[in-house]
Amino acid sequence: MTDMLSENETQGHADLFSKFDPLIEMRRDLLSTGVTDPFGLVMEKVISPTVALCNGRETILLGTYNYMGMTFDPDVIAAGKQALDDFGAGTTGSRVLNGTYAGHKAVEEALCDFYDMKHAMVFSTGYQANLGIISTIAGKGDYIVLDIDSHASIWDGCKMGDAEVVPFKHNDIEAMEKRLRRIPEGAGKLVVLEGVYSMLGDIAPLKEMIAVAKKYGAMVLVDEAHSMGFIGPNGRGVAEDQGCLEDVDFVIGTFSKSVGTVGGFCVSNHPKFEIMRLVCRPYVFTASLPPSVVATATTSIRKLMTAAEKRAHLWESSRTLHKGLTDAGFQLGTDEPQSAIIAVIMPDLERGAMMWEALLHEGLYVNLARPPATPANMTLLRCSLCAEHSAEQVQQIIGMFTRAGKTAGIL
Amino acid sequence: MTMDRAETSARIAALIEPFNKKGIEVADATRFTDDLEFDSLTVMDFVAAIEDEFDIIISMNQQAEIENYGQLVDAVVKLQG
């Protein structure tokens, strides 16, 4: 044995990390310009849903997904504290074994009430909800037809399953129909769409697209992560707003945006939906959400059902910011405000990073988004509004953008 | 109707032209990413053009198996079959 080992020469190993060299170099180039690392921000203290302490400075938050400002809602906080006391810090178990507490059933009931649907299944994150549902329901020989600008969790769900994956051009109804028409007869079909596309903040023409999908006998899954709580008369999302929610087979959503905590879900009226709990691996093979998280989510979801005034105020802020930035001379991702996301298009990554830093110095945090996360290789400064932003804050934000735009040479 | 390989190749060659910005000569061994420098957006538009021309689907799964021009022509011939 010893002899054999000594005969083996040590081979020079290929560094598995060399594939990341281009990205490492791109990052080094960007940081060498002296710009603050846009992907390394730390919030030292969170003062409210709209203000945090960053680098010792009070900063207005315009880059969170806290659309409805529920993170500091007193009822939500109280529910979480109570659950911590009553049920402990975590479940240490899978939903199908020892990880289902009364709170997990309660949050699923709250979701059924919120969406007026029969079944709800809660995952530990929104990412896992897409990963689990898509990879499980579309199997070998089935076809997934999806928008090319779909979220990473949708793509990863496709990659994890065995179905044929067929993308079409963003929001292009004709391109979608052509692909559905070409699918071999008898094959299972799943069309995957999003209500709001988070990079540009644009919405999908769901009514038309779902009608086409149904014409070809496809099942439809809609990710309403960025619309829940805000869009639609009851905050159920873009499908509700366009009057086609009843034609959606599966709605995917998250607790990490309007709900204000973390977790993901799928709601459905499919009569066999409950079998998902046994066959969906990202649901089974992971620990369930902590009791405090599901308690905060339940309280938040129930409060969002009656949050019409907050919704109205958020729409008002979205319109004001969109108009203010347009008037200031910025190029935006949409001609009209379509959601709580307003994307400001930057000429390139370097000036985008400069502008991002200039805004931070003004006391404003937005998200810098760059390829490959963005469509058409764009660099974007993504602003996401919160219902708790006051009208004064929105005016302040427009002023900050105008000054920073001049500093960075964008305007 | 089954089309022969040469005819399919000629139709695909015509479709490549607007995407072949550097005017690289295309042969069976020409690779889309390494030689023609197609990025993911170009691939999407190019695949859509071929799908429309031949009224076929080339799924992402099938695309993953196609690296060069010759493999694409073979795949399209087969998909029309």
Q: Which of A241, A122, A275, A252 is nearest to A190 (CA)?
A: A252
> Is A158 in contact with B60 (Cβ distance < 8 A)?
yes
Counting Cβ atoms within 10 Å, is residue A295 exposed (0-12), middle (13-18) or buried (19+)?
A: buried
Residue A150 and residue B7: Cα distance in Å, rounded?
A: 36
Domain membership of residue B49 as a residue range = 5-80
Q: pLDDT tens, A146-161?
A: 999 999 999 999 999 9
- Which residues 44-73 on chain B approach chain A with CB closer than 8 angstroms? 44, 48, 51-52, 55-57, 59-62
Residue A391: both structure tokens together: 């009208």
> Is A377 in contact with B41 (Cβ distance < 8 A)?
yes
Residue A322's identity, in one-letter code, is: H
Extract the residue ranges of chain A whose pLDDT is less than 70.
1-9
Instruction: Tell me the chain A residues in contact with residue B48 when contact means C-beta distances shorter than 8 Å.
Output: 168-169, 175
Q: 10 Å Cβ neighbour count for A166?
A: 25
> Is B51 in contact with A178 (Cβ distance < 8 A)?
yes
Residue A293 and residue A303: Cα distance in Å, rounded?
A: 15
Q: Select from A182, A185, A189, A216 the residue whose CB has the most chain B CBs within 10 Å, as the one to mutate to test that interface.
A: A182
pLDDT of residue A191: 98
Max Cα distance, chain A (Å): 79
The residues on A that touch B, with CB distances below 8 Å, are 143, 148, 158, 164-169, 175, 178-179, 182-183, 372, 376-377
Identify which of B41, B55, B57 has the shortest CB distance to residue A183.
B57
Of all residues in chain A, the one with the smallest CA distance to B39 is A377
Instruction: Tell me the chain B residues in contact with residue A164 when contact means C-beta distances shorter than 8 Å.
Output: 57, 59-62
Residue B57: CATH number of its domain: 1.10.1200.10
Residue B38's identity, in one-letter code, is: F
Helix (H) or strand (E) holding A154: helix A152-160
Q: Select from B43, B59, B80 the residue whose CB has the most chain A CBs within 10 Å, as the one to mutate to test that interface.
A: B59
> Is A377 in contact with B56 (Cβ distance < 8 A)?
no
Total domains present in chain B:
1
**How close A112 comes to chain B (CA, Å)?**
35
> Is A167 in contact with B60 (Cβ distance < 8 A)?
yes
Question: 3-state class of A386 per DSSP?
Answer: coil
Report whether A189 contacts B67 (CB < 8 A). no
Q: 10 Å Cβ neighbour count for A184?
A: 9
> Is A372 in contact with B51 (Cβ distance < 8 A)?
no
> Is B48 in contact with A175 (Cβ distance < 8 A)?
yes
Q: Mind giving me the DSSP string for A356-374?
A: HHHHHHHTEE-EEE-TTSS
Q: Which of B3, B73, B81, B80 is nearest to B32 (CA)?
A: B73
User: How much is the pTM?
Assistant: 0.94
Instruction: Tell me the chain A residues in contact with residue B38 when contact means C-beta distances shorter than 8 Å.
Output: none
Residue A195 and residue A193: Cα distance in Å, rounded?
A: 7
Extract the residue ranges of chain B whose pLDDT is less than 50.
1
Q: pLDDT tens, A244-262?
A: 999 999 999 999 999 999 9
Residue A58 and residue A48: Cα distance in Å, rounded?
A: 11
**How close A177 comes to chain B (CA, Å)?**
12
> Is B51 in contact with A179 (Cβ distance < 8 A)?
yes
Residue A330 and residue A328: Cα distance in Å, rounded?
A: 6
pLDDT of residue B1: 46
Among 3.40.50.1820, 3.90.1150.10, 2.70.98.50, 3.10.20.30, name the CATH number for the domain at A34-68+308-407: 3.90.1150.10
Q: What are phi and psi of A203, to 5 degrees?
A: -105, 165
> Is B59 in contact with A169 (Cβ distance < 8 A)?
no
> Is B59 in contact with A143 (Cβ distance < 8 A)?
yes
- Return the half-sphere exposure (C-beta side, CA atoms, 13 A cut-off) of residue A196: 32
| Top-tier CATH class for A74-304 | alpha beta
Task: Please enumerate in sequence order all residues whose Cβ is within 8 A of that of B51, keeping only pairs 6 or more positions apart, or say none.
Answer: A178, A179, A182, B57, B58
Instruction: Tell me the chain B residues in contact with residue A166 when contact means C-beta distances shorter than 8 Å.
Output: 57, 59-60
Of all residues in chain B, the one with the smallest CA distance to A375 is B41
Residue A31 and residue A35: Cα distance in Å, rounded?
A: 6
**How close A165 comes to chain B (CA, Å)?**
5
Distances (CA, A) of B18 to A169, B38, B46, B66: 18, 12, 9, 20
The position carrying tokens 């990412």 is: A127
ipTM value of the model? 0.92
| Euclidean distance between the first and the last CA atom of chain A, given in angstroms as a whole number | 72
User: Domain map of chain A by residue range?
Assistant: 34-68+308-407, 74-304
Query: Is the torsion defined by CA of A216, A219, A223, A229 positive or negative?
Result: positive
Q: What is the DSSP letter of A13?
A: P
> Is B61 in contact with A165 (Cβ distance < 8 A)?
yes
Instruction: Tell me the chain A residues in contact with residue B39 when contact means C-beta distances shorter than 8 Å.
Output: 377
